[in-house]
């Protein structure tokens, strides 16, 4: 498990299924944020993940500090014209 805390940052490699290549990504805990999703309200850490090697894809994940399981994810998909996909915990 990552040591998630405000200001934490790391670079890691991840396999991209769509391109069939390994990508270098930058993860930063951008701060604390209270969010509401269909199952309730959560005090979360907002985690931003972006390409560390020049790509334009970007993902933001909201993770409650007590569970460390994502309750919301948004993703900007450059290969789809900058479309924004959002997932929220519903049950």
SS (H, E, C) 73-91: EEEEEHHHCCEEEEEECCC
Is residue 3 situated within a structural domain?
Answer: no
- Nearest alpha-carbon partner for 61 in 16, 13, 29: 29
Is residue 77 situated within a structural domain?
Answer: yes
What does the pLDDT profile of the chain (91 residues) look like in tens digits? 677 888 899 999 999 887 898 989 999 999 999 999 999 999 999 999 998 887 777 899 999 988 889 999 999 877 778 889 999 998 8
Cβ atoms 72, 59 nearer than 8 A = no
Is residue 47 situated within a structural domain?
Answer: yes
Question: How many domains, the chain?
Answer: 1
Q: How far apart are CA 11 and CA 16, in angstroms?
A: 15
Is residue 2 situated within a structural domain?
Answer: no
Task: Please give the residue range of the domain that contains residue 23.
Answer: 9-88
Which residues 6+ apart lie within 8 Å of 32 measured at CB? 6, 43, 44, 45, 46, 65
Is residue 4 situated within a structural domain?
Answer: no
Planar angle of CA 35, 41, 42, nearest 5 degrees = 65
């Amino acid at each position: 498990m990552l040591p998630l805390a405000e200001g934490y940052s790391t670079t890691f490699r991840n396999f991209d299924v769509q391109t069939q290549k390994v990508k270098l990504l930058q993860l930063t805990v951008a701060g604390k944020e209270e969010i509401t999703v269909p199952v309730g309200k959560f005090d979360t850490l907002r985690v931003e993940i972006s390409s560390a090697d020049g790509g334009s894809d970007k993902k933001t994940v909201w993770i409650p500090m007590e569970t460390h399981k994502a309750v919301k994810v948004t993703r900007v998909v450059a290969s789809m014209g900058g479309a924004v996909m959002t997932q929220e915990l519903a049950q």
